[in-house]
A and B are shown apart, each in its own frame.
Chain A
């Protein structure tokens, strides 16, 4: 099993930390992982993305131009990465602020309304965990017990009190994921 994922959105949306939690969870499950951020000027505001690869084998290239899954959090990233999903692959996006929706018919497309749900719950910080939950409901590449361990490893200890709420946000994401285009 090798899963090649791009996560892309605005700087500050938790793109890098979502990737880190996923990567750490993979490590906890004894997988090979790589987490490669875009570290250009875009990390200071603007768009931000990270390539996360989780595999049973030694990972070759940490940077890619085609992905099994794209997790997309804003319009610029959707415009940039929709075409990079492999045929038969998966695109998950938050519809908030999206005016031009994805149009491909050869990939699986799902929406997770993470922004709306997080503000409804009164805590925008869990937005990225809701999105992560949506992804994991479709591709459960790491087990939930390892996600908890991954959160323990990737969050500073002073934030460990928030782990149960993070896990709850993941579960909410799993519930609200909405199919848009599902291949037969």
Chain B
């Protein structure tokens, strides 16, 4: 049965984890996402579903605990904010290399360095262009509503296990801190060890007579074999790019101009397009829900009928590069952003539309 709650985005991450049957959470507190761990501790899921909640000694420890749990075929996750997620990059690369599922939530704050505790979207490059070393990709979901913070935990695990690839929920301080209505599901039971043994032959479930020896590693010293690993990863990424693109279009049917924005910037931009349309400006919004794979095709197709595109981000201009790659020379693409923890106002975005793409 569905139940209605008023929750912060961070609490919704925690609630989503408990209710979709996550096995373990390992994390270390950092503003603006500490409510994830706080809510988990308050809810005591170890008494409800048997889910483990552990405050690790550091972010490095957290991600390595996730690696360990994932190697057993368990649904395990961590969450942090920008400086903490930087510390996790080695572990994320190892997970991608060992083809382990798992979820990392980044509630982004302003950087670089320790930066500020206020919202930002300046970790886009780190998330979708690597962050860690090697040729790998991270399935990246960008929630814009508290409901999506809740829903995307389950979705991230679904995709992550389907493709044996780590997933990231890339949020920010706005969506982490805002309280909205959330419809929550009943508690789903965690997977049994039997289920994991039967469904995930790669998982380390103990050597039994009917099961071959399993090694989980990202190390392959022979170059030819490591190239084969890379080719397999690239083939997998291609399948993901073909099948898992998600986005939402708002007021695009008659649009002459388009805003591309994700997460909280998409919410602010939605208000901006409402205000702009009151002034007779025909502008629509395309909100990427998956940042990798990026909705390049959808943006490219739309761009042919547009006069200009504005990428709105709380960064100095990161996603705008992917928008430009998507549209080529079809139409001018400009960037508007505030950064370092400043949230742009809807009216600033309207002004940016006029100044940057309507000239």
Contact = CB atoms under 8 A, between A and B. Distances in A.
Interface of A: 20, 23-24, 27, 32-37, 39-41, 59-66, 153-154
Interface in B119-174: 173-174
B61 interface: no
Given A60-B274, A65-B345, A37 B177 contact: yes
B6 to A, nearest CB: 5
A153 B179 CA distance: 14
B4 A34 contact: no
B232 interface: no
A24 B6 contact: yes
B218 interface: no
B117 A40 contact: yes
B337 interface: no
A64 B346 contact: yes
B182 to A, nearest CB: 10
Nearest to A39: B177
Given A20-B179, A34-B180, A39-B117, A27 B347 contact: no
A68 to B, nearest CB: 14
B266 to A, nearest CB: 9
B286 to A, nearest CB: 15
Contact of B4 (A20, A27, A39): A27
B180 A59 contact: yes
B118 interface: yes
A21 B157 CA distance: 34
B270 interface: yes
Contacts of B4: 27
A40 to B, nearest CB: 6
Given A62-B174, A64-B345, A66-B347, 20 more contacts: A23-B179, A27-B4, A27-B6, A27-B181, A33-B6, A35-B6, A39-B177, A59-B267, A60-B271, A60-B346, A61-B346, A62-B178, A62-B267, A63-B343, A63-B345, A64-B346, A65-B345, A65-B347, A65-B348, A153-B6
B260 interface: no
Contact of B174 (A24, A33, A36, A41): A36
A56 to B, nearest CB: 13
Instruction: Give the interface centre of A24, A33, A40, A62 by most chain B CB atoms within 10 Å.
Output: A62
Contact of B181 (A33, A63, A64, A65): A33
A23 B178 CA distance: 11
B178 A35 contact: yes
B24 interface: no
Nearest to B285: A60
A184 B348 CA distance: 32
Contacts of B31: 39
B6 A23 contact: yes
28 contacts: A23-B6, A23-B179, A24-B6, A32-B181, A33-B179, A34-B178, A34-B179, A34-B180, A35-B6, A36-B174, A39-B32, A39-B117, A39-B173, A41-B117, A59-B267, A60-B268, A60-B270, A60-B274, A60-B346, A61-B268, A62-B178, A62-B180, A63-B264, A63-B345, A64-B271, A64-B345, A64-B346, A65-B348
B250 to A, nearest CB: 9
B31 to A, nearest CB: 8
A55 to B, nearest CB: 11
Nearest to A20: B179
Contacts of B117: 39-41
Instruction: Give the interface centre of A20, A32, A37, A39 by most chain B CB atoms within 10 Å.
Output: A39
Interface in B268-296: 268, 270-272, 274
B313 to A, nearest CB: 15
Instruction: Give the interface centre of A23, A63, A66, A154 by most chain B CB atoms within 10 Å.
Output: A63
Contacts of A64: 271, 345-346
Interface string B179-214: 111000000000000000000000000000000000
Contacts of B271: 60-61, 64
Contacts of B118: 40
Instruction: Give the interface centre of B4, B32, B181 by most chain A CB atoms within 10 Å.
Output: B181
Contacts of B173: 39
A37 B174 CA distance: 9
A35 B267 contact: no
A61 B267 contact: yes
B174 A63 contact: yes
Nearest to B116: A40
A167 B77 CA distance: 43
Contacts of B180: 32-35, 59, 62
Contacts of B343: 63
Nearest to B179: A35
